[in-house]
């Protein structure tokens, strides 16, 4: 019996040892796994807190200032202290002297945040100086955004930034001088809504339309993320001595979404009559918002009418609402043409441009074309044509073809 008892005790002890070893092993495995999970959680928290991270939940929020814009603001601070190649930093005294003390006689226009003065530097270069008169955070943000964008963007269809002034409380932007000012003042020469007669002929209008379209195409298609102008209008298309057009005034510009079909959410800013309906209603901003604004400018070039004029007869006060039903009717489209053109154009070309305008101002953003498509549609209308002087006679007279058709064969 003693032998059997000892054997039983030995077996029991072995089982206890094995069970204890298994328990210790399980504890070690559990501790190791806990440490692993703790390390992963800690690493994730650090990643979320780091400035360079872009977690998915942040991208989905609808905030007044989107993440790409924050990044742009951070870049602006660097730009202001260290200008890009070819951009000069001016002292206030230099620009005060160049503009004749910012005298009223040198005012040539008004930008999104201040008056614009013409002037000349000591080396003889003619310049335009925008003097910021909007105090507070928004004015500062617009100044920084425009300096940042124009320092980094380079296109012959965008107004060039010569330099800027950030001297004390003074904020100024210095541009190349555009001899013929803004498109708006040439479409409506007296500055009124319907007074005066424009001297812009058909050829010049089409050249301006194409070059302005190329400016937006560059911003939308050749910059990543795309830049949305947000205040594209006829007064922000400037003309040089030969009436070549450049897009200007980037104070309200916004960096768009880098996702196909994406949007950024922001408060609604812009000019009445040019703002896309979906942006006005929801605050959702896309490159198609600029396309809508471009379509309004194209309507101005066709009709010679301002976007909003409530002094006109009932139903004619809003340009888009009045013109859109007529743009796809080859008989009615001729009836809305600017009388100052004196019918010096071909109906075939008018119908083509009207079709482009109609697509650009579609209420649904998805139905609007890309600016690259607009450019390709306008190129044939401008290519191989000699540049006529503004106000000169043109060989394009109102000679209706027997069966004018829309681009692609539609009527």
* Binding region for ATP: 137
The secondary element (H helix, E strand) that includes residue 109 is: strand 107-110
> Are 177 and 118 a contacting pair, CB within 8 Å?
yes
- What are the structure tokens assigned to 348, written together? 């075939």
Rounded Cα–Cα distance for residues 167 and 265 (Å): 33
Binding-site annotation: residue ranges: 137
DSSP assignment of 285-353: E-HHHHHHHHHHHHHHHHH---SB-TTSSTT-SBHHHHHHHHHT-TTHHHHTS-GGGTT-S-HHHHHHH
Preceding amide of 225 cis, omega within 30: yes
Q: Partners of 126 in the beta sheet? A: 120
Q: How far is CA 72 from CA 115, 152, 183, in A?
A: 25, 11, 30
- Catalytic position from the list 231, 249, 290, 338: 231
The answer to whether residue 373 is catalytic is no
**Residues with catalytic function:** 231
């Amino acid at each position: 019996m003693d032998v059997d008892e000892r054997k039983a005790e030995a077996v029991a002890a072995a089982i206890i040892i094995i069970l204890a070893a298994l328990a210790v092993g399980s504890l070690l495995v559990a501790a190791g796994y806990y440490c692993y999970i703790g390390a992963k959680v800690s690493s994730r928290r650090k990643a979320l807190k780091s400035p360079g991270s872009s977690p998915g939940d942040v991208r989905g929020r609808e905030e007044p200032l989107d993440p790409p814009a924050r990044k742009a603001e951070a870049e602006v601070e660097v730009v202001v202290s260290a200008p890009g190649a070819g951009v000069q930093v001016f002292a206030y005294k230099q620009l005060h002297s160049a503009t004749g003390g910012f005298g009223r006689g040198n005012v040539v226009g008004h930008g999104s945040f201040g008056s614009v003065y013409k002037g000349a530097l000591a080396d003889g270069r003619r310049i335009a100086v925008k003097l910021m008169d909007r105090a507070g955070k928004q004015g500062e943000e617009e100044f920084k955004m425009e300096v940042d964008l124009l320092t980094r963007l380079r296109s012959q269809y965008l107004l060039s930034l010569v330099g800027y002034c950030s001297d004390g409380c003074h904020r100024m932007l210095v541009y190349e001088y555009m001899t013929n000012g803004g498109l708006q003042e040439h479409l409506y020469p007296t500055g009124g809504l319907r007074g005066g007669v424009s001297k812009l002929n058909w050829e010049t209008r089409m050249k301006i339309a194409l070059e302005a379209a190329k400016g937006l195409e560059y911003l939308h298609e050749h910059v990543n993320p795309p830049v949305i102008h947000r205040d594209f209008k006829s007064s922000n298309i400037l003309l040089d001595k030969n009436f070549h057009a450049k897009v200007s005034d980037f104070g309200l510009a916004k960096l768009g979404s880098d996702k196909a079909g994406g949007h950024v959410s922001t408060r609604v800013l812009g000019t009445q009559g040019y703002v896309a309906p979906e942006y006005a209603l929801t605050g959702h901003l896309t490159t198609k918002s600029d396309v809508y604004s471009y379509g309004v400018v194209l309507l101005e070039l066709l009709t010679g009418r301002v976007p909003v004029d409530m002094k006109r007869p009932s139903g004619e006060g809003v340009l888009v609402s009045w013109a859109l039903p007529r743009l796809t009717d080859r008989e009615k489209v001729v009836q809305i043409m600017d009388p100052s053109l004196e019918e010096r154009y071909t109906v075939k070309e008018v119908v083509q441009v009207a079709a482009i305008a109609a697509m650009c101002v579609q209420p649904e953003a998805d139905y609007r074309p890309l600016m690259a498509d607009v450019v390709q549609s306008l190129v044939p209308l401008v290519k191989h044509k000699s540049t006529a002087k503004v106000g000169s006679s043109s060989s394009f007279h109102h000679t209706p073809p027997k069966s004018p058709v829309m681009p692609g064969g539609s009527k």
